C-alpha cells in the first residue's frame, strides 16, 4: 500500500510540475552561446514572451557559433521535427534561400525605414528577406586608456598606421609584450577581422564582374598588414589560435593595449568581476587608411529565421516579432545594440554606454559585408586556411591568395 501511495504521489508531483499542457504550441528554437546576447538574456526575453503569449512555449537550445550552421543543416536534412526558429548569420541567407532551408519573410517584416539598412542586409538575398534582423553587431577597436597614457598618447589611433606606430612605442616601453590582440584562429572570426581590414585598405573580395579581387590591391594589402604586424611583434602571435573569448580574456587581464572585438566585450570588459581593466578602457570605430576607408566595420549581424520544415509558423513569427521588437531590444541593449534607429536617441538605451553608442553611430553606417555567395561556407573554409598559412609563415601572402583564387574558381 505504501508503495502504491508513493508511486501515486510521484505521479501527482510530475503532473503538477508539467507546465506544458496538451494544447500548448511548443516551439524549438536554436541560438548561440557566444558574443551578443548572453544565454541568460535570451532566457529572460523568452520567459517574458511566454508570459505575454499564453499557449506558446519555447524550448531553447544554445550551441557555440562554430556549430550553429551545421546544426541547422543537420536538422533540416533530418526532415520534420527540427527547429522552428533559428539564429542565422549574415553570411548564410544566400545558401539557405537557394536551398530553401528557410521561409521568405518579406511579407511579414515591419516597414524598412525605422531599422538600419545594414541590419536589413543581414537577412537579405535576391531582393527578399530570409531572416528578421535581430543582433546588430560590428567589430570595434577597444583600447586600454592606462597603457596609452603611460606610453604618452592622449588619443586612440585614427588610422592603421597610427595604430602600428602607437603599438610599437607601447612594445618598446615594455608596457605590453604584444600590444594588439585579434581573433585569428582557423574559424569565421578570422574572416571577420580580415574583411574589416580589406575595407580599411579599400579592397574587395570580388570585382563588379564577379572575378576574384582578393589577389591584389587592398585585399592583398590587408593580409600583408596582418603578416607584418605578427613579424614586428606588435600583434600577439597567439592570436592565430584565438577566438573572440580569448581576445576578451587577454584584453580584460590588461595584457593587450588594443583589441578588435564585438559589442559584447564592452559591458564585460567593464565589469569589475570579470575584468581587471574595468573603467579604464575606450571604444572607437576600427581605424582605416587614407587611401582606403577612413574607418572600418564588419557586418557581423545576425537574424532570426523560420525553418522551412516548421509546422508552427504563425507562433514562430510571433516569437521572432517579440524578440526583435524595439521594446525588447531596448531593454537588453547592453550586450547587443538595437536594430531600431530611434533607440539611439532614447536616454534609457544610451545611459551608461555613451562611448559605445558614439562609436556605433559611425560604425553601423559603414558596415562592410562579406561576399554574398551560395558556396560561402566552402570559400570561407579555404580562405581561413590560406590566411593562416600566410600568418604562420608557411607561404607568402601573394602565393596564399593566388592559391585561394585557383581553389575557389567556379564557386558561386
Point out which residues bind another protein (CB under 8 A): 66, 69-70, 73-74, 76-77, 95, 98-101, 177, 185-187, 237-238, 240-242, 246, 249-250, 253, 255, 375, 377-378, 381, 384-385, 388-389, 391-392, 394
CB of 391 to another protein, least distance (A): 8
CB of 107 to another protein, least distance (A): 19
* C-alpha torsion 63→64→65→66, nearest 10: -110
Based on CB atoms, which residue is closest to another protein, 228 or 233?
233
Bridge partners, 259 (sequence order): 142, 181
> Hey, what's the cell of 145?
586608456
Based on CB atoms, which residue is closest to another protein, 142 or 153?
142
Q: By CB neighbour count within 10 A (0-12 exposed, 13-18 middle, 19+ buried), where does 11 fall?
A: exposed
Based on CB atoms, which residue is closest to another protein, 159 or 186?
186
Based on CB atoms, which residue is closest to another protein, 159 or 385?
385
Query: In angstroms, rounded to a whole number, what is the distance separating the alpha carbons of residues 340 and 358?
Result: 15
Query: In angstroms, rounded to a whole number, what is the distance separating the alpha carbons of residues 134 and 323?
Result: 8
Query: In angstroms, rounded to a whole number, what is the distance separating the alpha carbons of residues 325 and 304?
Result: 12
In the block, residue with C-alpha cell 525553418: 307
Query: In angstroms, rounded to a whole number, what is the distance separating the alpha carbons of residues 197 and 289?
Result: 9
Based on CB atoms, which residue is closest to another protein, 200 or 383?
383
CB of 112 to another protein, least distance (A): 27
CB of 385 to another protein, least distance (A): 5
Q: H or E segment at 401?
A: helix 397-408
- Helix ranges (H only) for 101-144 are 117-123
- Helix ranges (H only) for 235-312 are 244-252, 265-269
CB of 354 to another protein, least distance (A): 31
Distances (CA, A) of 165 to 175, 228, 229, 276, 368: 14, 13, 11, 25, 25
CB of 364 to another protein, least distance (A): 29
CB of 238 to another protein, least distance (A): 4
Based on CB atoms, which residue is closest to another protein, 115 or 306?
306
CB of 394 to another protein, least distance (A): 6
CB of 175 to another protein, least distance (A): 16
Based on CB atoms, which residue is closest to another protein, 99 or 342?
99
> Hey, what's the cell of 10?
510521484
CB of 340 to another protein, least distance (A): 33
Residue 144, SS3 per DSSP: strand
Q: What is the DSSP string of 149-164?
A: HHTT-SS--SBHHHHH
Query: In angstroms, rounded to a whole number, what is the distance separating the alpha carbons of residues 301 and 329?
Result: 14
> Hey, what's the cell of 173?
616601453
Based on CB atoms, which residue is closest to another protein, 201 or 376?
376
Based on CB atoms, which residue is closest to another protein, 7 or 411?
411
Q: H or E segment at 281?
A: strand 281-287
Based on CB atoms, which residue is closest to another protein, 112 or 173?
173
In the block, residue with C-alpha cell 579581387: 213
Contact 183, 261 (CB under 8 A): yes
Amino acid at each position: 500500500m505504501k508503495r502504491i501511495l508513493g508511486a501515486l504521489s510521484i505521479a501527482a508531483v510530475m503532473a503538477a510540475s508539467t507546465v506544458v499542457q496538451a494544447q500548448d504550441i511548443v516551439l524549438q528554437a536554436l541560438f548561440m552561446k557566444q558574443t551578443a546576447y548572453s544565454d541568460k538574456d535570451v532566457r529572460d526575453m523568452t520567459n517574458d514572451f511566454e508570459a505575454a503569449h499564453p499557449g506558446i512555449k519555447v524550448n531553447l537550445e544554445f550551441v557555440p557559433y562554430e556549430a550553429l550552421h551545421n546544426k541547422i543543416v543537420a536538422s533540416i536534412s533530418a526532415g520534420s521535427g527540427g527547429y522552428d526558429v533559428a539564429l542565422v548569420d549574415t553570411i548564410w541567407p544566400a545558401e539557405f534561400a537557394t536551398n530553401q532551408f528557410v521561409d521568405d519573410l518579406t511579407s511579414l517584416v515591419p516597414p524598412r525605414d525605422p531599422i538600419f539598412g545594414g541590419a536589413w542586409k543581414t537577412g537579405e538575398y535576391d531582393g527578399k528577406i530570409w531572416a528578421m534582423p535581430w543582433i546588430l553587431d560590428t567589430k570595434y577597436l577597444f583600447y586600454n586608456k592606462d597603457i596609452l597614457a603611460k606610453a604618452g598618447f592622449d588619443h586612440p589611433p585614427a588610422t592603421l598606421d597610427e595604430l602600428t606606430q602607437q603599438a610599437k612605442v607601447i612594445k618598446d616601453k615594455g608596457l605590453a609584450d604584444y600590444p594588439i590582440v585579434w581573433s585569428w584562429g582557423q574559424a569565421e572570426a578570422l574572416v571577420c577581422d580580415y574583411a574589416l581590414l580589406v575595407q580599411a585598405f579599400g579592397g574587395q573580395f570580388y570585382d563588379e564582374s564577379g572575378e576574384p579581387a582578393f589577389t591584389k590591391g587592398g585585399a592583398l594589402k590587408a593580409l600583408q598588414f596582418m603578416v607584418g604586424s605578427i613579424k614586428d611583434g606588435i600583434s600577439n602571435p597567439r592570436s592565430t589560435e584565438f577566438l573572440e573569448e580569448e581576445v576578451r580574456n587577454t584584453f580584460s587581464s590588461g595584457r593587450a593595449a588594443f583589441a578588435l572585438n564585438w559589442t559584447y566585450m564592452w559591458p564585460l570588459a567593464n565589469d569589475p568581476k570579470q575584468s581587471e581593466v574595468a573603467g579604464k578602457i575606450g571604444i572607437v570605430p576600427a581605424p582605416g587608411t587614407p587611401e582606403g576607408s577612413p574607418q572600418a566595420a564588419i557586418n557581423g549581424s545576425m537574424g532570426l529565421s523560420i525553418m522551412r520544415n516548421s509546422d508552427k509558423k504563425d507562433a514562430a513569427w510571433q516569437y521572432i516579432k517579440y524578440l526583435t521588437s524595439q521594446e525588447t531590444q531596448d531593454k537588453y541593449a547592453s550586450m547587443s545594440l538595437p536594430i531600431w534607429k530611434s533607440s539611439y536617441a532614447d536616454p534609457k538605451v544610451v545611459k551608461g554606454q555613451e562611448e559605445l553608442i558614439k562609436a556605433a553611430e559611425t560604425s553601423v553606417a559603414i558596415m562592410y559585408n562579406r561576399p554574398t555567395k551560395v558556396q560561402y561556407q566552402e570559400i570561407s573554409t579555404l580562405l581561413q586556411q590560406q590566411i593562416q598559412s600566410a600568418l604562420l609563415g608557411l607561404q607568402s601572402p601573394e602565393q596564399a591568395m593566388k592559391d585561394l583564387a585557383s581553389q575557389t574558381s567556379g564557386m558561386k
